[in-house]
Amino acid sequence: MPPEQILKKEDASLDLALRPGRWDDYIGQEKIKRNLRVLIEAARKRKEPIEHVLLYGPAGLGKTTLANLIAKEMGAALKVTSGPAIEKVGDLAAILTNMEEGDMLFIDEAHRLHKVVEEMLYPAMENGTLDIILGKGPSARTLQLQLPRFTIIAATTRAGLLSSPFRSRFGATHRLEFYQKDEIKKIIARSAALLGANLLDEAVDVIADASRFTPRVANRILKRVRDYAQVHDHEPVTRDVAHKALAMMDIDPIGLEATDLRILETIISQYHGGPVGLKTIAASTSEEVETIEDIYEPYLLQIGFLARSMKGRIATKDAYAHLGIPFEAGQNQGTLL
Ligand code: ADE
């Protein structure tokens, strides 16, 4: 496959207009920003590419945006691909041999890289060499290519799934955290201004509460709230209008959607609140294990509705309260509660 086909096309649904194009417009993740700026500044002074960077954490928190900002700050070209897009070692070889001095390669969903591809990356990351095996069997030979100096920025929602030799080849590893409410409010206000939407602060507050502390979710809700307000001629957008728009989207005031509620209800009504294994939850709710782990569970853990134990997931007292189900002492064997 030619590299331009392996390189991921920009996700059309991702609203480029809302993505911060400058460091100063990137709100939150202060510690990571501080560290990255030092890394960048030092590399620039030495006139070297920066070390490889690993960004991990829940989906939608801005890993791709950060990668774009790093490349921009370094004046580097950023090539974009993803773990599952690189099917064969030949695909990776094609990408790497097309890199130029100082280029950056963004690998999204790095936990989904094939093992052989990941292993081919080790020497490339460590000393810029690419080992290509020519032929098969006893006559096989290894051709070693020296690559130009480049930087890999890898992103994953599941750092635990990366092999430790792979992880250890990153010079900087950063975990993105859920945003604080005041940060999400600033992001919504900034996006609203860019979209030309007129929202009262009380409406921004409602959207922030439903945003799962995640900019991607906040921006998605903002756009739907704006649509609703425009159709119903409700500008400036009030708290009430924002609530109505959320209800129409089947999003509850703290950002839970039908699947979140189904997961919690399943644990509570079918498994007495847990502990219950993730695979069992997935089977009972007809969701993929990976979808639950990547999309639903991080926020439910963050707000303390779910707890993890050695024996599985547990619905907490707060989850019962939110669903209006009476919680009896000893319900989930008192584990962790
Ligand atoms: N849009 C998405 N993520 C953002 C962030 N961290 N700051 C500002 N706008 C954003």
Tens digit of each residue's pLDDT (9 = 90 or more) over 61-76: 999 999 999 999 999 9
Identify the CATH assignment for 181-248 out of 3.20.20.10, 3.40.50.300, 1.10.3720.10, 1.10.8.60.
Answer: 1.10.8.60
Ligand 1 atom closest to Cα of 216? 2
Q: For 193-224, how does the pLDDT look when each residue is reduced to its tens digit (9 = 90+)?
A: 999 999 999 999 999 999 999 999 999 999 99
Across the range 239-251, mean pLDDT stands at 97
**Cα 68 to Cα 19: distance, rounded to the nearest angstrom:** 10
At 14 the pLDDT is 45
At 16 the pLDDT is 77
Token representation of residue 309: 């134990």
Q: Is the pLDDT of residue 57 over 60?
A: yes
DSSP 93: H
DSSP 335: T
Q: For 310-329, how does the pLDDT look when each residue is reduced to its tens digit (9 = 90+)?
A: 999 999 999 999 999 999 86
Cα of 33 from ligand 1 centre, angstroms: 12
The one-letter amino acid at 55: L
Q: For 143-168, how does the pLDDT look when each residue is reduced to its tens digit (9 = 90+)?
A: 999 999 999 999 999 999 999 999 99
Q: Does domain 258-323 have CATH number 1.10.10.10?
A: yes
**In the chain, what is the straight-line distance between the N-terminal and C-terminal CA atoms, in Å?**
53
Second CATH level (architecture) for the domain 29-175? 3-Layer(aba) Sandwich (3.40)
At 244 the pLDDT is 97
Q: List the catalytic residues.
A: 63-64, 108, 157, 216
Q: For 299-312, how does the pLDDT look when each residue is reduced to its tens digit (9 = 90+)?
A: 999 999 999 999 99
**Cα 154 to Cα 148: distance, rounded to the nearest angstrom:** 18
Task: Give DSSP secondary structure letters for 70-92.
Answer: HHHHHT--EEEEEGGG--SHHHH
Cα of 29 from ligand 1 centre, angstroms: 10
DSSP 50: P
Residue whose token pair is 């639950």? 292
- The whole-chain average pLDDT of the chain stands at 92
